[in-house]
Structure 1
């Protein structure tokens, strides 16, 4: 990365940083995407089971993995301030924290998943698939978390194309093992939805080894010596990472878990509704990869400029990121609305599932603008290391406004299952508005110094 002078140069730098991140995000997301897609082609019961399983898995994993995202602003600001000698220790302590978090989540799922699933009114076959899927995915927690630390370190150096290259390998690896383990091809056991979980776990281990080899042997990463001269676990350093990372993780958890909560609450509507809802969420999440990537790019660029004390440049990067995401939101909304029949048919041949998914996709189109605003605004705030107020705003927007309003509409009006989607729109809109005000306030406060 280097200092930019004009808005045009900044936009080009943003594209340079964001495009590889986008490819990386899509490639990593495709692991889950193909789990859902290929299981949908297996049968509806396994699709529902994987949907329920991923609804437990994703918010817990993403929320705690979000803690590790603090590596990006920490390393970016260290590099901007020309303190590269401190980078190795930050990354090593991040790896220690990754292992601790992975073990905690594995323990939670190993002992608690069956009890949680037992509280739901699920068909026996669906509950069985969900439990097996969660266990299988948990076997990939350690490599997935360590890879996230390495990836955030790589991205913070501006080498986002390297992360892109690594992640591009994940989708074909995952599809290959899905093909073997879901459908039982080439003599492998036919595991259905559980096979998708095992395929993902194998993929995460392979991706970690590739990333580790690159960080250890290739420039510019080799010069930092990340895997040499390991320091002892430092509670002070872990505390610093956690101080920034925990609010980030809670913010991400608050957003992702509301989608999972809606999926779980929809279990009362039956297998068809769960499957149709999951189709809409799955494709919408794929489109969300662009505003999410812009958000991560904003964290890197804003953090770099803040570290160098170029606050005016940091402000410009913030709003260029938001405007770029908003422009894309109109494209994604039109795609969801006008191609909704084709999108639903990609996932299922069941007419009942397709018909319901088409209706959910209309609501998905409506919250694209709010999603496109709140994501890069949060990313910019992370670049400023302003994370505490942000997570409180996220909690209120999604859990005080979004989910309760969705429940009321679903329970006491004729909207039924669609009421939850209206609640999602309300929560995301509240988040976009309040976070934008927060970013503007932080920038004015810094400019006053």
Structure 2
């Protein structure tokens, strides 16, 4: 990262940071995409089982990742203020937090997963696949969360191309192990959808080891000596990370968990409906990587400028990022509409399931514009270290407005499962409106703060 003066320089730097993040996010999501597509080829029960398992796993994954994302604005602020001494210390403490959170999630899952699946109206084969798919994923939790911490360090330095290269290197590994474990090739057992969980865990371990090697051996990462002079856990720093990270994690959790809740509520419908819903969500979520990447890039750039007390530059980055995100959101709408038929047959050879996927994809078009506004604004606000109010806004939008409205439509109208999707569309639109108002308020407030008050508040925020 470096200070910029003109809009052209800002656009260039934002693009340099954002595009590798986009490739990285698509690569990371491609692992889930590969899991889903290959499982669908193994059978409708395998696809539905992976869908249910993913519905329980994705909110946990994104929520914990959100907590650990707190390190990105913290490190960006420190680098923007040229305070480099604390960088390796905060990364080490972040790794401790990642391991601690893994233990908490693993313990909770051991007690809760089986009862939750038992409460759902699932076919026995679907329940079996979902349970063992999650067991396979559990083996990769520690490397995934530790990698998330180290990735935050890499990205805060503006070296987003490195995480892109790591992710691209991992994709062939993921595809290979999915193929041999799902279909029983090269002497491996034929595990069906269950094999996708173990393949993903193996890939997470590969990513972590490669990431550690690169940050230990190559500049500018080796300059910070992350793995030298390892320090003991510091409760005060854990508290700082968690106070900032928990609202971020819960905000993301409430947004992603509503999709998972809908999948679980759809268990009262047929296996074909569950499979079609999951396939449509899977493809729409692939396109969601675009606004999500803008959010990550804007957290880095806005956080860097706020750390350097350059408010006008932070506002400029926010405007550029939002305009680009909305433009690409419109392009995503066109892509979904034009490709809905061939996309449906990527997931299944069953024409009935394909028809349901196409119907769900039409509804997903309306997600795109709301996400194009909602998600980048969350990233901008994280750059300001504003996380508590967005958390409350997300909870109200998704759980108090969107989900009850969707349930009412699905229960009391002829829309059936599509009623839940209308509820999701409503929640995203409401949340985008709330966040737009909040961002405007934050920017006005930042203008009004005197330099002395601004410095005092920044110190209080860490």
Q: Residue by residue, what CA displacement relative to the aligned partner does 1:35-64 show, whole Å, maximum 9, x if unpaired?
A: 001101111100000000000011012112
Output one character per residue of 1:67-108: Cα deviation in whole Å (capped at 9) or x when no partner.
Answer: 000010000000000100011111100000000111111122
The alignment partner of 1:385 has SS state of coil
- The 5-angstrom pairing of residues 183-222 of structure 1 reads 183-222=183-222
Match of 1:293 in 2: 293
SS in 1 for 2:349: coil
Q: TM-score, normalised by structure 2?
A: 0.96
What does residue 227 of structure 2 align with?
A: 227
Whole-angstrom distance in 2 between the partners of 1:65 and 1:379: 14
Aligned equivalent of 2:11: 11
Asked if 1:81 is matched to 2:81, the reply is yes
What are the equivalent positions in structure 2 for 1:324-343 lying under 5 Å apart? 324-343=324-343
Structure 2 counterparts to residues 3-402 of structure 1, below 5 A? 3-402=3-402
C-alpha distance in structure 2 between counterparts of 1:162 and 1:129, whole Å: 35
Provide structure 2 residue ranges, at least 5 long, that are not aligned to the other structure: 450-462
Tell me, in whole angstroms, the C-alpha distance in 2 between the residues paired with 1:111 and 1:175: 31
- In the other structure, the counterpart of 1:403 is 403
Alpha-carbon separation, structure 2, partners of 1:270 and 1:11:
48
**Inter-partner Cα distance in structure 2 for 1:250 and 1:320:** 27
Q: Report the Cα offset of residue 171 of structure 1.
A: 1.4
**Is the 1:280–1:357 Cα contact (8 Å) retained in structure 2?**
yes
Q: Match of 2:323, SS?
A: helix
Matched residue, 1:436: 436
* Inter-partner Cα distance in structure 2 for 1:235 and 1:329: 42
**Aligned-partner Cα distance in 2 for 1:177–1:109:** 24
Q: Tell whether the 8 Å contact from 1:49 to 1:130 is kept in structure 2 after alignment.
A: yes
1:170, 1:249 → 2: CA distance?
Answer: 25
Partners of 1:319 and 1:270 in 2: how far apart?
A: 45
Structure 2 CA distance, aligned partners of 1:319 and 1:378?
13
CA distance in 2, matches of 1:435, 1:10: 23
Write the deviation string for residues 282-323 of structure 1: whole angstroms up to 9, x where unpaired. Answer: 000000001000000000000000000000100111121111
CA contact (8 A) 1:31 1:170 kept: no
1:362-410 superposed Cα distances (whole Å, 9 cap, x missing partner): 0001121001100100000000000000100011111111111100000
Distance 2:176 2:220 in 1: 32
Query: SS at the partner of 1:41?
Result: helix
CA RMSD, Structure 1 to Structure 2 (Å): 0.7
Provide the TM-score with structure 1 as the length reference.
0.99
Aligned 8 A contact 1:302 1:380 in 2: yes
The 8 Å contact of residues 18 and 294 in structure 1, kept in 2 or not, is answered as yes
SS of corresponding position for 2:4: coil
Q: CA offset at residue 338 of structure 1?
A: 2.0
Q: How far apart are residue 235 of structure 1 and its match? A: 0.6
- How many equivalent pairs are there? 449
Distance 1:321 1:401 in 2: 28
Which whole-Å deviations, capped at 9, do the CAs of 1:239-271 have from their partners, x for residues lacking one?
Answer: 000111000000000100010001110111110
Partner of 1:447: 447
Q: Which has the higher mean CA deviation after the structures are superposed, 108-117 or 80-89?
A: 108-117
Distance across 2 between alignment mates of 1:228 and 1:180: 39
Whether the aligned pair in 2 keeps the contact of 1:40 and 1:348 (CA below 8 Å) is: yes
Any unmatched runs of 5+ in structure 1? none
Query: What is the deviation of 1:424?
Result: 0.5
| Alignment partners' CA distance in 2, 1:254 and 1:8 | 36
2-structure distance, mates of 1:75, 1:247: 18
Looking at structure 1, the residues matched to 301 and 258 of structure 2 have their Cα atoms a distance apart, in angstroms, of 29
CA drift of 1:111 comes to 2.6
CA distance in 2: counterparts of 1:61 and 1:13, whole angstroms: 29
- Aligned twin of 2:457: none
CA distance in 2, matches of 1:267, 1:337: 27
Q: d(CA) in 1 for partners of 2:270 and 2:239?
A: 44
Asked if structure 2 preserves the Cα contact closer than 8 Å seen for 1:109 and 1:135, the reply is no
- Give 1:325 shift: 0.6
